[in-house]
Chain A
C-alpha cells in the first residue's frame, strides 16, 4: 500500500500491464476448467459493459429519455386538461406541427427573436468571456482570485434575481438609467418605455443574459489558458509576434475544443432562455412582438392548457438545437482531421 501512495501512476501502470500477462497461460485453463462461470461475464462477452452501464442508463432513461418521449407523444395529440384528468390519449397526427409551421407568427416574430437574440448573446458572451479570461490570465494569483470571485458572483445570482435587478436599473420611470439620461436631457421618462419596443426589450435582455453567462465562459477559457505552455508564447515573442498574432496562432488553435464546448453550451442556453424574457415587463404574454420559442411554448401549454401545441413547440426547439449542435460538431471534427 505504501508503494501505491508514493507512486500511484507507476503502480497503476504496473497493475494494468501485469494483468494481461498471465492470460496466454491462464486463458485456456479458465476456458476449460471454469468456463461456465466466466462465459457470461467474460471479457469478450458483449453483456458485461452493458451490465456496468445499466444503472446509469436506467437513471438516464427515467429522468431524461422518458420525459422526452412523453413530450414527443403529447406533441402528436390535442392534449388539454381533459386528457390530463382522464388519462386518455387523443392523437391527431402532425396537426400541431402543421399549425405551428403554417403560422406566420413563427416566421416573422418568434424565430427571428429567438435566433437573433441567441446569436447576439452567444457572440457577446464568448467574446466578453474570452477577453476577461485573457485579462485574468495576466494577473497575479491574488488579484486573479479576487477578480474571479467577483465574476463568479454574477454567475451565482439566480436568473430571477438578476432579471429583476436589470428591470429596476432600466425602469422607465424611476430606474437608474432613465434618471441619468433624463438629467442630461437625452430622454423624457414620461414618454419613454423601452420594454415596449422589440429591439430595446431584447437589448436589455441581452445585457442580462450576457452578464449572467460570461463568467462561465471566462472561467472555462481561463482553465484552458493555464494549460498552454509558456514556452510557446515566449518563442513567439522572440520571433517578434504581436499579442494579436500570438492569440490567433497559438491560443485560439489550442483552445479550439474549449471554445467548442462553451459555444455549444451557450447556444443551447441562449436559445431556450425563458425566465429572463418572461419576467420582463410585457414579456409574460402581453406583448406578442417579444415572444421567443420558450415563452411561446409556455404560454400555449400552461396559460392556455394546450399542452399538445406547447409540446410541439418544445420539440421544434429541441430539433433546432440538435441540428445546430450536429452541424457545429461536424465542422469542428472535420477541421481537426485535415
Chain B
C-alpha cells in the first residue's frame, strides 16, 4: 500500500511538472527510478500506432505486449490507425478528451499537437534516461517546440535515388556523383531504352524537389526572430528547381503523366518496369522486392548527389512516440516509449519495416552492416538529412500543397520556374504572416 501511494503521488507530481513545461529535473530523477520498478498490474495502456509501416506488425506487437507485461505487469492495448485518417482522429480525440496514453506521431504533427497543449514535455525524462546525446538530431529538431521536446524519436526514413542497376550496367553508366552526371546518366539511359522514362519528375511529390532546392544552396524558409519567411523564390532555390524541373521540361527525361504523379505512382511505374531511376524512400526497395521478386538483383540505390560535389540534403521524415498530457499513466507511458524507441525492439522494428532507428547508436550498427539497398540511404540520412521548417504553420503550408502546386504549374507549362516560385513564396508568406 505504502509503495502504491508513493507512486501515485510522484506520478501526479510528474504530471504537474510536465504540464508546466518545467526545465529543471531535480526531483523527478528519483521519481522515475521509483516508477521503473513499480508494479502496474491491472492497468492498461492504450497506444495508437500507424498502420502499414511494418508489414508484420501483429507479430511484432504480440512480442512487445508480452515483454511489457513481464516488465511492468500492465497490459497493452495497441490500436492500429491508418495514416490517411489519423490526423482527423487525433484532432477529434483532442477535442473530445479521448486521446490515447501514447501514440505514434508523424514528425510534422508533433509540433502542431504540442502547440495546443495536447502532449507531455519529455525533455526531463529523456535526460534522466541518458538518451539526449544518442538521438538522431533531425528527429529531435522536429519534436522540439520552444526548447522543449515533445516526441521521442522512434524511426526515420529518408529519400535517395533508387535505380535500375541492370539497365545502368547494360548501358555502361556509372553511379552519378554530380547533377550533370545525373542528367547524362538519364540521357544515356533514354538513348539505350527508348520506351523507358529515365527520370520521372513527380509533380505531386514535394519531397522529390527539396533535395534540389537544398542542393543548390536554397531553402524552403528561414526564421528571423519569431517570423518565418519563404526562401523558395530565392535565386539559389530557383536554380535548383530549374535543374530539377528542367529534367522534364527541357531535357525530356520525364513524361507528361508524371506531372500529376504521387510517390505511390512513381513506385508502381517503377515496379512495372517503366522507370529508370526515381527519388524514393528507404522503405521502398524492400517493397519492390516483395512485390516483384524478379527485380531483387536488378535494383540499386545511391544517395542524391550534390550539384558539383558531396550530397544534396534530403528530407528526413519519420515518427515520434508522444505521450498525451491527458493521460493519467505518465510513468507507464514513458516506460513503454523507452522500451519501443531504444534497444532490441527499436532495432527489430527498423529491420522489419525498412526504416532507420531514431537512436544514433543503433543507426550506426545498421550502417556497419553495409547492405547495398540500405547503406546508401543510411549515408544520406547521416550525412545529408534535413528538416522542413519546424513550425505548425508549415503543416498548413503542406496542407494546401504549395510546393506541389508550384511543381505542377511548372511541369504543365502554365508558369515559368520563377513565376511559380514567386507564387509559392507569396502563398507561404501569407500563412507565415510575414
- Give the chain A neighbours of B112 by CB distance below 8 A: 81, 305
In chain B between 300 and 328, which residues have their CB closer than 8 angstroms to a CB of chain A? Answer: none
In chain A between 183 and 236, which residues have their CB closer than 8 angstroms to a CB of chain B? Answer: 189-193, 195-197
In chain B between 154 and 205, which residues have their CB closer than 8 angstroms to a CB of chain A? Answer: 197, 203-204
Between B260, B408, B414, the greatest number of chain A beta carbons within 10 A of the residue's beta carbon is seen for: B260
Whether A173 contacts B269 by the Cβ 8 Å rule is: yes
Within the complex, the shortest CB–CB distance from A177 to chain B, in Å, comes to: 12
Complex formed: what's the CA distance from A284 to B262 in Å?
Answer: 11
User: Which of A129-137, A138-146, A296-304 is found at the contact surface with chain B?
Assistant: A296-304
Given known contacts A196-B412, A284-B401, A288-B405, A172 and B396 CB-to-CB distance under 8 angstroms: no
Main secondary structure of the interface of B (DSSP, over half): helix
Whether B257 contacts A84 by the Cβ 8 Å rule is: no
Residue ID in chain A nearest B399 by CB atoms? A303
Whether B260 contacts A286 by the Cβ 8 Å rule is: yes
In chain B between 254 and 297, which residues have their CB closer than 8 angstroms to a CB of chain A? Answer: 255-257, 259-262, 265, 269, 272, 274
Whether A190 contacts B255 by the Cβ 8 Å rule is: yes
Whether A82 contacts B115 by the Cβ 8 Å rule is: yes
Out of B117, B260, B411, name the residue touching A281 (CB < 8 Å).
B260
Complex formed: what's the CA distance from A81 to B95 in Å?
Answer: 8
Within the complex, the shortest CB–CB distance from B230 to chain A, in Å, comes to: 16
Whether B260 contacts A195 by the Cβ 8 Å rule is: yes
Whether A85 contacts B116 by the Cβ 8 Å rule is: yes
Q: Is A282 an interface residue (CB 8 A)?
A: yes
Whether A282 contacts B255 by the Cβ 8 Å rule is: no
Q: Is A87 an interface residue (CB 8 A)?
A: yes
Out of B94, B269, B405, name the residue touching A287 (CB < 8 Å).
B405
Complex formed: what's the CA distance from A18 to B95 in Å?
Answer: 58
Within the complex, the shortest CB–CB distance from B209 to chain A, in Å, comes to: 12
Main secondary structure of the interface of A (DSSP, over half): loop
Interface string of A76-117 (1 = CB under 8 A from B): 000001101111000000000000000000000000000000
Residue ID in chain A nearest B401 by CB atoms? A285
Whether A304 contacts B400 by the Cβ 8 Å rule is: yes
Whether B404 contacts A81 by the Cβ 8 Å rule is: no
Given known contacts A85-B95, A190-B255, A282 and B400 CB-to-CB distance under 8 angstroms: no
Complex formed: what's the CA distance from A86 to B262 in Å?
Answer: 35
Whether B91 contacts A193 by the Cβ 8 Å rule is: no
Interface string of B55-91 (1 = CB under 8 A from A): 0000000000000000000000000000000011001
Q: Is A171 an interface residue (CB 8 A)?
A: yes
Whether B260 contacts A81 by the Cβ 8 Å rule is: no
Q: Is B118 an interface residue (CB 8 A)?
A: yes
> Chain B interface residue count: which class?
35 or more
Whether A303 contacts B400 by the Cβ 8 Å rule is: yes
- Give the chain A neighbours of B399 by CB distance below 8 A: 285, 299, 302-305
Number of interface residues of A (CB under 8 A): 32
- Give the chain A neighbours of B269 by CB distance below 8 A: 173
Q: Is B395 an interface residue (CB 8 A)?
A: yes
Between B256, B272, B395, the greatest number of chain A beta carbons within 10 A of the residue's beta carbon is seen for: B256
Complex formed: what's the CA distance from A189 to B254 in Å?
Answer: 12
Interface string of B93-127 (1 = CB under 8 A from A): 01100000000000000001101111000000000
Out of B255, B395, B408, B431, name the residue touching A173 (CB < 8 Å).
B255
Whether B256 contacts A193 by the Cβ 8 Å rule is: yes
Complex formed: what's the CA distance from A171 to B414 in Å?
Answer: 21
Given known contacts A85-B116, A85-B117, A173-B269, A193 and B260 CB-to-CB distance under 8 angstroms: yes
Whether B116 contacts A193 by the Cβ 8 Å rule is: no
Complex formed: what's the CA distance from A299 to B269 in Å?
Answer: 28
Whether B396 contacts A84 by the Cβ 8 Å rule is: no
Out of A173, A285, A287, A289, name the residue touching B257 (CB < 8 Å).
A173
- Give the chain A neighbours of B87 by CB distance below 8 A: 302
Within the complex, the shortest CB–CB distance from B108 to chain A, in Å, comes to: 12
- Give the chain A neighbours of B256 by CB distance below 8 A: 172, 189-193, 196
- Give the chain A neighbours of B252 by CB distance below 8 A: 190
Whether B400 contacts A285 by the Cβ 8 Å rule is: yes
Given known contacts A85-B117, A190-B256, A286-B260, A299 and B91 CB-to-CB distance under 8 angstroms: no
Whether B408 contacts A282 by the Cβ 8 Å rule is: yes
Out of A81, A281, A288, name the residue touching B116 (CB < 8 Å).
A81
Out of A87, A189, A193, A302, name the residue touching B412 (CB < 8 Å).
A193
Complex formed: what's the CA distance from A308 to B411 in Å?
Answer: 33
Interface string of A52-91 (1 = CB under 8 A from B): 0000000000000000000000000000011011110000
Between B259, B262, B274, B407, the greatest number of chain A beta carbons within 10 A of the residue's beta carbon is seen for: B259
Complex formed: what's the CA distance from A189 to B259 in Å?
Answer: 13
Complex formed: what's the CA distance from A287 to B407 in Å?
Answer: 9
Whether B94 contacts A282 by the Cβ 8 Å rule is: no
Interface string of B389-401 (1 = CB under 8 A from A): 0001001100111
- Give the chain B neighbours of A285 by CB distance below 8 A: 399-401, 404-405
Given known contacts A285-B400, A286-B203, A304-B400, A84 and B94 CB-to-CB distance under 8 angstroms: yes
Out of A82, A193, A302, A304, name the residue touching B259 (CB < 8 Å).
A193
- Give the chain B neighbours of A82 by CB distance below 8 A: 115-116
Complex formed: what's the CA distance from A102 to B284 in Å?
Answer: 45
Closest 5 CB pairs of A and B: A303-B399, A281-B260, A286-B404, A172-B257, A196-B412
Given contacts A82-B116, A171-B257, A286-B260, 19 further A-B contacts (CB under 8 A): A81-B91, A84-B91, A85-B94, A86-B116, A173-B274, A190-B255, A192-B257, A193-B257, A195-B259, A196-B411, A196-B414, A282-B204, A282-B259, A285-B405, A286-B401, A299-B401, A302-B399, A305-B91, A305-B396
- Please name 6 pairs of A and B residues whose Cβ atoms are closer than 8 Å in the assembled complex, sorted by A: A172-B255, A191-B256, A281-B265, A282-B204, A287-B260, A287-B409
